[in-house]
Structure 1
Amino acid sequence: MGHPNDDTDKHLRGSLTKQNKKLSRLKCSVHNYDWGIVGNNSQVARLFALNSGSDIDPYKPYAELWIGTHESGPSFVDHGNGRLESLSLKTWISDNPNLVLGERLLRSGAVLSAEKALSIQAHPDKDLAMVLHNSQSSVYRDDNHKPEMALALTEFEALLGFISVKELMDVLCSVPEIVELIGSGNAKQFLLVNEQYRDKNAKAVLQSIFSQLVLSSRNKIGAMISNIKSRLLPEMQKRKLTDKEQLVLRLESQCPADAGVIAAFLLSYVKLNHGEALYLGGNEPHAYICGEYIECMANSDNVVRAGLTSKHRDIQTLLSMLKYTQGFPEILRGVSLNPYTTRYLPPLDEFEIDLSILPQATSVVFPSVPGPSLFLFIKGKGAITAGISENDNVEEGEVLFVPAHTEIRITAESTELHLYRAGVNSRFFTIP
């Protein structure tokens, strides 16, 4: 995309400043990572095509639609009869600081379509992020944390956090390959001691197993996975495999001889339905497996990987940072704001997400707030009013930037209108 000359740039910036209390349509960036869903089957592909006016490549994977100011996939302001102006959202915001309260939100939104698993990873908390950035700035390019929320658009699968003590006992009873890795004597000692001792020492056992797995050679992991397949494939003829066993075989088909395949036995396997969400805090192991979802995160690129990936792995850092907290993660179902809107609030100040599903001819009002908002329309058509301005039309694929202190009213004109709003967490504005 070309850049305007200085005169054009100054004229555009001046024009936008005069209109800065109006809504701004955004043109967003797409990423075609190989784990994405191919062609028309991808929600990302459909939304990007509608947002950009481009055609969908039926043979290309569409993984992520990025919304915001991230340098690797910035959004651009679309002003004036749908004509895309070559002014990035980040530049516009820097010229109009009264629109926002910092940049707490604006690098943080995405729609993802995952056909294959993403890497087993964790995001450093703020303290660790500063240390990593100072020592390895080429890898960890900022000093901020990266908590995030994933809100399911379809059925969505993920691994998040470590399994409970009971599940760990089940693994040591049913996965002989892991028992062989840590030694049968160690496994028996853990299984045979009293319950109080097990609970006290489960974290250490879990840490030992996980560490040995991710530090093992590729040849050793390959042999372990081969043994698992040789054991499970005949079992399929006699019984239905457990969900975790089926998942391990799926992961092996995507990432052969990868330690992350076996590590999946040690992580909690979560399945979400539409409208359910997960919150991922700092230093928590996770991997998204498949499905389509809205993702909102804090302003950071920091990722520490250990499995299911061909990218850089920083295993020692990941092992040292993990909390090894055990138990099934909380599934967030949001809080109802009105008959049509549900709000998802993570336990941090950076962001919140609203989901509105409007039947035809119904309306919802988003009150004026001190921070900016991003609106994504994923289904249907409607009319939108900002403050006292006249109605404007919105439809699937459109992304809007809404300035601070702007009340929004949206009315559905189709059978159903589905939209998502991401904004600075309302808790932030109540902090003394």
Structure 2
Amino acid sequence: METDSIEANGGCAVDLRRIRRLRCSVKDYDWGRTGSDSLVARLHSTNSGAQIDSTRPYAELWMGTHGSGPSYLADGSNGMTLKSWISENPKSLGNRVLEKWGCDLPFLFKVLSVAKPLSIQAHPDKESAKKLHKARPDLYKDDNHKPEMALAITEFEALCGFIPLQELKGVLRDVPEIEELVGTEEANQVLSISEQHTEEVKSVLQTIFTLLMSAGADSTKEIISKMKQRLCMESKERQLTDKERLVLRLEKQYPDDIGVISAFFFNYVKLNPGEALYLGANEPHAYLSGESIEIMATSDNVVRAGLTSKLRDIQTLCSMLTYKQGFPEILKGSNVGAYITRYLPPFDEFEIDLCDLPQGESTVFSCVSGPSLVLVVQGEGKLSAGASTDDIVAGDVLFAPADTEIHLESSSDLKLYRAGVNSRFLYS
């Protein structure tokens, strides 16, 4: 059933299909890009009217309803949050979304500007999230899971998931410092195991990874120093691998951190602009550099274990991981309309459409039976929905209720992203 276009709200008529401009929250974590070098800073400045602080690390722009970084209506609604407006106008979500997730957006939309690694981390599944939130609400802010997807705006680097078994065996042979840290017996277990024994491989990987991440500070410092000296010497005789060069770079950014040496266990992923990486619950990862769009289930639960100055929860992280091995799938998107590419991960909560609209062209985001957030990152143009037409520029963020058809025209090369509920869920 279509969303009603007009709904009574406190005696007032509310047009549920009207596009609503948002003012969004910014995060200044120390890994963010500084000042106007940060896309997050430039977008937030336009979005909020705030001046850019040249000394501030602008890391994340948050768009959505999460309490840690809420968006507000920008149309004179006296500081009303988007979440409050949705609570008063639940039909704006569409029936399927409302039935499954209640009166809230099921996704959180972000822009990331990454100058140095965020942390080696994973996000808990729903069951674990409920337990962690109950035990440590100060640390784990909500009880939701957090599958996510990163879509590269610039070249974007990440560590993601465990390398295949054969590659791991090569690491143990080529990086003797790891054996020193975890013990010869444990290293030999990995070297002698067969790929056919899937569950045993996972068990052995969990054992050796937990030993590595749990190493004492003094041992870690000594081993990293030894590894650094060895690689610097070997670089005079041979060309270092991409992973070895990365590890030396990480050591400069996070000296004596166990995350430096544990990077050898993870896939090193380099995304080109327009490529996307998705991550399920309990998968280890660390974003390293670049700028990206990020979307996830509405949660801020992060379990950290390395490459960070924040609180680490190593035992929780090591116990919750899937220990799945292999290179992650890279999404390149599929065409769903004129100048529109869709990225569709295997999660109900979200998808992303990228619209790259040349100057003087037009296109349409067709009606979908769920809500959307639209972010303009480049250019100028016009956005029309129903009887209303708005000028749009980089930094604009808009909420589109369910069953809203959006028409776009560009007056200069226009790039924008639409975050919405996964189409497979909406139309299954």
Sort the Cα spacing of 1:421 and 1:17 in 2 relative to 1 into closer, same or farther, 3 A: farther
Q: CA deviation at 1:66?
A: 0.8
Contact 2:193 2:201 in 1 (8 A): no
Contact 1:67 1:75 in 2 (8 A): yes
Unaligned 5+ runs, structure 2: 1-8
Sort the Cα spacing of 1:17 and 1:161 in 2 relative to 1 into closer, same or farther, 3 A: farther
Q: Partner of 1:179: helix, strand, or coil?
A: helix
Contact 1:156 1:272 in 2 (8 A): yes
Match of 2:150 in 1: 150
Sort the Cα spacing of 1:210 and 1:17 in 2 relative to 1 into closer, same or farther, 3 A: farther
2:410 alignment partner, one of 409, 412, 423? 412
Match of 2:45 in 1: 49
Q: Distance in 2 between matches of 1:424 and 1:186?
A: 44
Residues 249-260 of structure 1: pairs in structure 2 closer than 5 A: 249-260=248-259
Q: Distance in 2 between matches of 1:291 and 1:403?
A: 31
Q: Distance in 2 between matches of 1:107 and 1:198?
A: 37
Match of 2:14 in 1: 18
Contact 2:186 2:208 in 1 (8 A): no
Match of 1:170 in 2: 170
**Which TM-score applies when normalising by structure 1?**
0.90
Contact 2:24 2:47 in 1 (8 A): yes
Match of 1:89 in 2: 82
Contact 1:148 1:280 in 2 (8 A): yes
1:404 partner amino acid: A
Q: Distance in 1 between matches of 2:311 and 2:131?
A: 18
**Which TM-score applies when normalising by structure 2?**
0.91
State which drifts further: 203-212 or 256-265.
203-212
Q: Distance in 2 between matches of 1:175 and 1:430?
A: 50
* Count of aligned residue pairs for this structure pair: 413
Q: Partner of 1:210: helix, strand, or coil?
A: helix
Q: Distance in 2 between matches of 1:155 and 1:409?
A: 30
Q: CA deviation at 1:331?
A: 0.6
Q: CA deviation at 1:237?
A: 2.4
Q: Distance in 1 between matches of 2:193 and 2:282?
A: 30
Residues 18-417 of structure 1: pairs in structure 2 closer than 5 A: 18-79=14-75, 85-100=78-93, 101=98, 102-103=102-103, 105=105, 108-184=108-184, 186-188=186-188, 190-191=190-191, 193=192, 201-387=200-386, 389-414=387-412, 416-417=413-414
Q: Partner of 1:240: helix, strand, or coil?
A: coil
Q: Distance in 2 between matches of 1:196 and 1:337?
A: 40
Q: Partner of 2:295: helix, strand, or coil?
A: strand
Match of 2:4 in 1: none
Q: Distance in 2 between matches of 1:224 and 1:383?
A: 58
Q: CA deviation at 1:16?
A: 8.2
Contact 1:25 1:401 in 2 (8 A): yes
Q: CA deviation at 1:232?
A: 1.1
Contact 2:65 2:104 in 1 (8 A): no
Q: Partner of 2:117: helix, strand, or coil?
A: coil
Q: Partner of 1:86: helix, strand, or coil?
A: coil
Q: Distance in 1 between matches of 2:77 and 2:31?
A: 30
1:177 partner amino acid: E
1:168 partner amino acid: L
Q: Partner of 1:170: helix, strand, or coil?
A: helix
Sort the Cα spacing of 1:194 and 1:133 in 2 relative to 1 into closer, same or farther, 3 A: closer
Identity %: 57
Contact 1:104 1:350 in 2 (8 A): no
State which drifts further: 359-368 or 416-425.
359-368
Q: Deviations over 1:102-159 (max 9, x none)?
A: 4553660110101010111111111222232333333323221111111111000111
Q: Distance in 2 between matches of 1:260 and 1:99?
A: 44
State which drifts further: 204-213 or 296-305.
204-213
Match of 1:8 in 2: none
1:423 aligns with 2:411: no
Q: CA deviation at 1:36?
A: 0.3
